[in-house]
Structure 1
């Protein structure tokens, strides 16, 4: 009865209002417009794909990710699924344009599309066309109609890399009351930690969540091995120099970073600083350049014209951060003076100390790194200046901190196989 009432409320009232609001935003925001236009083509794309499948590849796995970040962490799972079941097909669907636009192809993926509008009729048609053997949703991005119609079509449902923070609105009234029946429909929830297991048990009202770890660790190891094969910066720029990399930075980070960088370059002018903004827009890069006046800096796109005395390199392209961290002796991870910290494991895998600001509660890995001594949380500009100076001047402390970070990554590998084994057992009825 509760499911029926929620179904009627969601489809007759809530989603129609959401649909109108979403389309209204799209009139003024290109990002929303891209997502809407892409969704109108989902059914045709699914039909075309299904019509070209042969009988030997009838097992299709449907994976939903909110954005590129969620998919990046699931890549090891997708690769291993294809290795184990080479005749199967994998469809990855994204809610956000950031995922769909930036992931044109990936090993193990046969089709990349937008997720359909979560209204009953598009979802019904979408699932009827693809007929997936299983639905896998990354982290927590659950849409009610996708769940309801998967149940109706008897499609097993799994939440993978499941993450739910203590302060999540999903755990509070009224969302908790509204979402509990939906989360209770999963056949398996595979959490990254005991804390997440507890939170999902609270949300779903069931005690069926399993802790299998986070495939993010497997992915950063894989990317670190791949990144060493690719040259982004000419070796003569960074060879025989200490390197500090600030990755995924926002203006809020740079308010502290730039004074700290200036301070340290006065002490050690031969150090190379690399700043990789999260959004390397023209306006953001110009703002950074204004703040770096008086220092020898250039952009990556102009590096061929730089001098041997280059002090600061600004990265004006995306997709190279993992390669840059491989060159670093010390790293700073951005977002930690804004809303949410970015991926702290990307530098940690290289065995280097990781610095970040106070806004890091969203990252389970950041807490683990702090606890094991592989990362240092900084409170502001003066603290950042002090920690940079200490790490670069004290080789033993730098190596000890970096080794602790690398050890944490090594100890948490293996979630991919555990998660895939758990999914296969559920599908086989064990």
Structure 2
């Protein structure tokens, strides 16, 4: 992995070794290959390290990519990116694409047609397994179990919270029993304090997760990393952050796997999963605070509407299962 946000996930994997990828320089690539002496080098999603790929290929290391995807509007389809990356993609021995359109775009980027096959997205298996393993009697979830209509808002940014909290303030006046569990993407002291200040101004009881007051709070603030994936088990409906800025929408599959209908902001078009959720009737995008309030009210007040949308969200995740096995079979060909 390369992003610091992947550290908690990597720490939970049953593997012999985990660490950051080296910088893509000739020296760092040679040092990494000398230390690890891999039989195969397999990337996930899209990014390849061209220097590392070339060095590994020259050593006879087999190369692959799984859950491979490339958006129609990706900058990697530009002429400059193609010049830089085409040789690296052409060196891949096997590639498992998420869907046929991804496969076509990856071939145009340089992947050999005989190397590519459609295997699906392994994240569907991942989130399904996590949902199935969620322990509602755990120290995290048990104190928060409630019959109150609950929205779990995950990976929120200030750009999400401005319309979301404004909408929630109005919603709470209509549904005073409703509860918000909110997990900021960056739970810094200042970020958490700002949400607490908003709750105080709304005369809502706010508490941080793990505190004695959290069980009865109107607003539960998650001030730690690594628990959001399980907290979606408590959601009657979910909000996923990232749709009110340009950095990208976070994972809508995690709450969907629990059967929660998923709400997000208007900037979701780079997310294949969000588009599929909307088409399936298991998710919705809202352009502003009024739209958020309308959808949250619909799901939290109408049990039938909430159940139907949640069932469609979960069915979408179920339809993507099996990609992990297909990716495993693909990688096994390299070893």
TM-score, structure 2 normalization: 0.93
Structure 1 counterpart of 2:207, from 286, 298, 307: 298
Structure 2 counterpart of 1:350, from 252, 258, 279: 258
Alignment partner, residue 90 of structure 1: none
Give the Cα separation in 2 of the matches to 1:168 and 1:219: 25
Alignment partner, residue 146 of structure 1: 52
**1:134 and 2:134 matched:** no
Once the two structures are TM-superposed, the CA of residue 186 in structure 1 deviates from its matched residue by 0.4
Once the two structures are TM-superposed, the CA of residue 103 in structure 1 deviates from its matched residue by 3.3
Alignment partner, residue 121 of structure 1: 27
Once the two structures are TM-superposed, the CA of residue 324 in structure 1 deviates from its matched residue by 1.2
Give the Cα separation in 2 of the matches to 1:198 and 1:306: 50
Cα shift readout 1:372-426 (whole Å, capped 9, x = no counterpart) = 1110111111111111111122222111111111111111101111111122235
**1:265 and 2:166 matched:** no
Give the Cα separation in 2 of the matches to 1:221 and 1:101: 18
Give the Cα separation in 1 of the matches to 2:82 and 2:74: 10
| 3-state SS, counterpart of residue 136 of structure 1 | strand
Once the two structures are TM-superposed, the CA of residue 266 in structure 1 deviates from its matched residue by 0.5
Once the two structures are TM-superposed, the CA of residue 335 in structure 1 deviates from its matched residue by 0.8
Give the Cα separation in 1 of the matches to 2:8 and 2:145: 32
User: Is contact 1:325–1:346 with CA below 8 Å preserved after alignment?
Assistant: yes
Give the Cα separation in 1 of the matches to 2:257 and 2:125: 10
| 3-state SS, counterpart of residue 154 of structure 2 | strand
Give the Cα separation in 2 of the matches to 1:99 and 1:345: 17
Give the Cα separation in 2 of the matches to 1:161 and 1:425: 16
Alignment partner, residue 86 of structure 2: 180
Once the two structures are TM-superposed, the CA of residue 105 in structure 1 deviates from its matched residue by 5.0
Alignment partner, residue 369 of structure 1: 277
**1:225 and 2:132 matched:** yes
Give the Cα separation in 2 of the matches to 1:418 and 1:173: 32
| 3-state SS, counterpart of residue 198 of structure 1 | helix
Residues 377 and 307 of structure 1: is their aligned pair in 2 closer, same or farther, counting only changes over 3 Å? closer
User: Is contact 1:213–1:415 with CA below 8 Å preserved after alignment?
Assistant: yes
User: Is contact 2:92–2:111 with CA below 8 Å preserved after alignment?
Assistant: no
**1:394 and 2:302 matched:** yes
Give the Cα separation in 2 of the matches to 1:116 and 1:318: 25
Give the Cα separation in 1 of the matches to 2:97 and 2:316: 18
Alignment partner, residue 163 of structure 2: 256
User: Is contact 2:134–2:233 with CA below 8 Å preserved after alignment?
Assistant: yes
Alignment partner, residue 194 of structure 1: 100
Give me the CA root mean square deviation: 1.8
Once the two structures are TM-superposed, the CA of residue 130 in structure 1 deviates from its matched residue by 2.3
Give the Cα separation in 2 of the matches to 1:344 and 1:102: 17
Unpaired runs of at least 5, structure 2: none
Cα shift readout 1:317-367 (whole Å, capped 9, x = no counterpart) = 111112211011111111111221111011001112111111112221111
| 3-state SS, counterpart of residue 19 of structure 2 | strand
Residues 205 and 189 of structure 1: is their aligned pair in 2 closer, same or farther, counting only changes over 3 Å? closer
Unpaired runs of at least 5, structure 1: 1-93
Give the Cα separation in 1 of the matches to 2:105 and 2:224: 38
Give the Cα separation in 1 of the matches to 2:244 and 2:55: 41
Which is higher, the Rg of structure 1 or of structure 2?
A: 1
Once the two structures are TM-superposed, the CA of residue 160 in structure 1 deviates from its matched residue by 1.2
User: Is contact 1:238–1:272 with CA below 8 Å preserved after alignment?
Assistant: no
User: Is contact 1:253–1:337 with CA below 8 Å preserved after alignment?
Assistant: yes
User: Is contact 2:121–2:324 with CA below 8 Å preserved after alignment?
Assistant: yes
Once the two structures are TM-superposed, the CA of residue 101 in structure 1 deviates from its matched residue by 6.9
User: Is contact 2:63–2:334 with CA below 8 Å preserved after alignment?
Assistant: no
User: Is contact 1:100–1:112 with CA below 8 Å preserved after alignment?
Assistant: no
Alignment partner, residue 158 of structure 1: 64
**1:241 and 2:148 matched:** yes
Structure 1 counterpart of 2:312, from 397, 404, 414: 404
TM-score, structure 1 normalization: 0.73
User: Is contact 2:236–2:260 with CA below 8 Å preserved after alignment?
Assistant: yes
Select the structure with the greater relative contact order (CA < 8 A; seq sep ≥ 6).
Answer: 2
| 3-state SS, counterpart of residue 132 of structure 1 | coil
Alignment partner, residue 336 of structure 1: 243
Residues 269 and 248 of structure 1: is their aligned pair in 2 closer, same or farther, counting only changes over 3 Å? same
Once the two structures are TM-superposed, the CA of residue 100 in structure 1 deviates from its matched residue by 4.4
Give the Cα separation in 2 of the matches to 1:420 and 1:315: 35
Give the Cα separation in 2 of the matches to 1:189 and 1:307: 47
